[in-house]
Amino acid sequence: MAKGKVNKNWLHDHINDPYVKMATAAGYRARAAFKLKEIAEPEGLIKPGINVVDLGSAPGSWSQVLREAMVGPGGVVQGRIIALDMLPMEPIAGVDFIQGDFRDDEVLLELDKRLHGEKLDLVVSDMAPNLSGVASADAARIEHVCELAIDFAVNHLKPNGALIMKIFHGSSYSGIVHEMKQVFKVVSPRKPKASRDRSRETFLLAKGLK
């Protein structure tokens, strides 16, 4: 199929996507907001008073969901939301944004400073690598990004904390699940309705460090 045809099909689906329309109506920056809501709300994971980091936060729809659930009287966020991304992100009231690579010591020092040395209740990651279409290369890239999120969570979560992480079905999937089960007490897959059926993306919810 020609590339132009694929782009037209994607645009048609995007314009007619009910979640795109709902996101626009609700003021969310992306339809991905509903993915986080579907995963986190039934678990009661986002609430006022928690410390949470949003990895790969741009354009900011997940940070918007976090803020919405954590805002208290007077529109003030109760707790702490820190968004991290190498890309710029438009400001969100009550959300601290750090632009940079969280593998860098300077970024981690700045994060620790803003957390006042406290551990996190929740880490959310909607990070995804740039995919090439070459299965073996893409599997390695997906695995690397997931490992970065897991490592970050293990180093920064409270013992009873949780991680919500995007992953893609493929050759690296079972290995990542196995790795998570080595460090978390509970690991379960989630495929929110807001995630398109044909998409290979799914999410893993991990709770309680071992």
Q: Is 8 a catalytic residue?
A: no
Chain centroid to CA 41: 14
Complete DSSP assignment for 80-92: EEEEEESS-----
Length of the chain: 210
Is 121 annotated to bind a ligand? Reply is: no
The answer to whether the annotation marks 85 as part of a ligand binding site is: yes
- Of 195, 162, 206, whose CA–CA distance to 38 is shortest? 195
The Cα 117–Cα 156 span in angstroms is 10
Contact 42, 30 (CB under 8 A): no
Pure H helices in the chain? 3-16, 18-26, 33-40, 61-70, 105-115, 135-156, 173-183
Is 112 part of any known ligand binding site?
A: no
Burial classification of residue 124, based on how many CB atoms lie within 10 Å of its CB (0-12 exposed, 13-18 middle, 19 or more buried): buried
Catalytic residue chosen out of the listed positions 8, 166, 185, 207: 166
- 27: DSSP letter: T
* Residue 134: its H or E element: none
Please give the positions annotated as active site.
Answer: 166
Return binding residues for S-adenosyl-L-methionine. Answer: 60, 62, 85, 101, 126
